[in-house]
Amino acid sequence: MPKLEKVSSGIHGLDEITGGGLPKGRPTLIYGSAGSGKTLMSIEFLIRGAILYNEPGVFISFEETEEELATNVSSLGFDLSGLIAAKKIFVDYVAVERSEIEETGEYDLEGLFVRLSSAINAVKAKRVVIDTIEVLFAGLNDKGIVRAELRRLFRWLKGKGVTTIVTGERGGETTLTRHGLEEYVSDCVIFLDNRVNDQLSTRRIRIIKYRGSSHSTNEFPFLIDEQGLSILPINTIRLNYPVSNEGVPSGVDRLDIMLGGKGFIKGTSILVSGMVGTGKTSLAAHLVDTACRRGQKCLYYAFEEAPDQIMRNMTSIGIDLKPWVEKGLLHFHATRVSEEGLEKHLLVMQKEAEKYRPDVVIVDALTDFISLGPGNEVRLMILRIVDYFKMHQITAMFSSMSARADLEETGVGLSSAFDTWIHLVNVQNNQERNRTMTIVKSRGMAHSNQVREFVLTNKGVKLVDIYATPAGSFMGTARIAQMAADQAAGVTREEGVTARERQLQQQRRALEAKIDALRAEFEAEAKESELTIAEEKAKIKAISDDRKMLDRQRKAEDKKAKTGV
């Protein structure tokens, strides 16, 4: 099946919400109230086409001269005069005075067609802008003539095969535009709005219709700055962003150990919550300093403190961020949230991220946005920026102020949006305040469930184990005092054990001396007894020998007597 041809607008985000650009060779209507950005969007469409796609353009103006247009768009960084001199763009200012327009049956736009044709041929234009259409029919009351000439104009433009933008003013309650016909004869209709809520201005864009093409129908915020228009196409951010297993050190060694040994995971979102003074910014500064030391780029969105103040404060804990700013590795974007609306902040944050391409982002603090709108709008804005950072594999740390120390809360009601949640608490005890850290959750890794004491030193953040004893858990000076007391008690016990060991050794030596004396006495007595026994044995032997001799003599005498010899 044939598809509708489109041309890229070159305007940041517009091609995304229109599904590829504006209809090629067909008219597009951009309408809105005064100050909504119709002329700027139209002229940027021409300039981007000439610069990026080598498509010359014609701008027909009924309100501003060539010099006025060149001056106005120079604030967006565009050199309109240079493009005109290079015959990339042709600007034709047509002065139409209402008093000069006479309503007759012969009224037509032949003169405009002639000028348009000449301008298109002069630069071989592929793009045309007519700004604004109402001026042509300002003095006419005959709607029939207006409708007929509008139809004829749009048909003529289609016949020329040029991609056209026609700007128009917003109509009443029943029509989109003043005449109520432009929206019907245009193939694409774009609505621009400059809305003010609670004294905060927000520009929005919406695609009302687009013949032959699917398109986004929601409203999107857009920004006009020194680089032109930027539209944030939220519909392009989906849950299909890439993931990584690469570790990102936090800058606090013991915290990395608590997070499975490698720190945070690249491209994830980290929430650091806690009350005022718990050390959220200090933790963020560690992440920035460590990333910059590895040669990575960091972007710091500061909504509460000036950059110089942040850098000065961090030197008190031994972190010097100024060299990273000077080397271009760290960029601060500092502003009060009250200066802009939610959508404007969202767009600016996106533009800054696209400009600096950071590896690490700090948003300090999320809860400042609560005052800018209803809770659901704030949560939607935060969810969008979280998803945007994930889509671009940017490791993002967000700080959030909690209302109560004993309550684990994000402050914005979006705990599920963050991959890692670190909660800091100030604990008041023994006439002092001590900080503690807990990892509430950390997706994709095993992590510690222990509470650590969070200490700010002149060498940065230190995590200390809470001193737990049968008598209770101790932090701060109480921990130091209890450890000293336990150490002193341990020394006393050690001295007692040493004394007892000495006493036991003395007793052992005394016993061994007594044993040696008894053994010597026994041996002396044994020797004496052995001598006595030997003498007695000798006597017994002598007696035995005498008895044997007498027995022999008696036997001899008896034998002699018997024989008579």
Cα torsion through 386, 388, 390, 395, rounded to 10: -70
Residue 418 CB neighbour total at 10 angstroms:
26
Burial 277-288 (b: 16+ CB within 10 A, else e): ebbbbbbbbbbb
Task: Compute the distance between CA of residue 515 and CA of residue 519 in angstroms, rounded to an integer.
Answer: 6
pLDDT digits (tens, 9 = 90+) for 60-94: 998 888 999 999 888 888 899 999 999 999 999 88
- pLDDT of the residue at 33: 86
Task: Compute the distance between CA of residue 470 and CA of residue 363 in angstroms, rounded to an integer.
Answer: 42
Lookup: tokens for 70: 């060149």
| Res. 224 pLDDT band, cuts 50 70 90 | confident
Q: State the average pLDDT over residues 388-405.
A: 86
Query: How many helices, marked H, and strands, marked E, lie in the chain?
Result: 14, 24
Residue owning tokens 């056209």 = 164
Task: Decide which of 30 and 144 is more confident.
Answer: 30
**Could you give the C-alpha distances from 472 to 105, 431, 432, 482, in angstroms and in order?**
98, 17, 17, 10
- pLDDT of the residue at 465: 77
Task: Compute the distance between CA of residue 260 and CA of residue 197 in angstroms, rounded to an integer.
Answer: 46
- pLDDT of the residue at 296: 95
- pLDDT of the residue at 435: 86
- pLDDT of the residue at 103: 47
Q: State the average pLDDT over residues 292-315.
A: 95
**Res 274 pLDDT > 80:** yes
- pLDDT of the residue at 411: 59
| Res. 26 pLDDT band, cuts 50 70 90 | very high
Average pLDDT of the chain?
A: 84
pLDDT digits (tens, 9 = 90+) for 443-497: 988 888 888 888 899 999 998 876 666 655 555 666 666 667 667 777 777 878 8
| Res. 548 pLDDT band, cuts 50 70 90 | confident
**Res 34 pLDDT > 80:** yes
Q: Which domains does the chain have, with CATH numbers?
A: 6-236 (3.40.50.300), 247-478 (3.40.50.300)
Residue 329, strand partner residues: none
- pLDDT of the residue at 544: 85
Task: Compute the distance between CA of residue 68 and CA of residue 84 in angstroms, rounded to an integer.
Answer: 14
Task: Compute the distance between CA of residue 40 and CA of residue 58 in angstroms, rounded to an integer.
Answer: 14
* Burial class of residue 239, CB neighbours in 10 A (0-12, 13-18, 19+): exposed
Task: Compute the distance between CA of residue 272 and CA of residue 282 in angstroms, rounded to an integer.
Answer: 11
Task: Compute the distance between CA of residue 382 and CA of residue 418 in angstroms, rounded to an integer.
Answer: 10
Q: State the average pLDDT over residues 374-400.
A: 87
**Res 294 pLDDT > 90:** yes
- pLDDT of the residue at 497: 85
Task: Compute the distance between CA of residue 465 and CA of residue 456 in angstroms, rounded to an integer.
Answer: 14
Q: Which of 164-173, 187-196, 315-324, 401-410 shows the lowest mean pLDDT across its residues?
A: 401-410
Q: What is the DSSP secondary structure assignment for residue 264, as one 8-state letter?
A: E
In the chain, % of residues over pLDDT 70 = 86
Residue in 224, 202, 196, 176 with CA at minimum distance from that of residue 41: 224
Q: State the average pLDDT over residues 132-153.
A: 73
- pLDDT of the residue at 366: 85
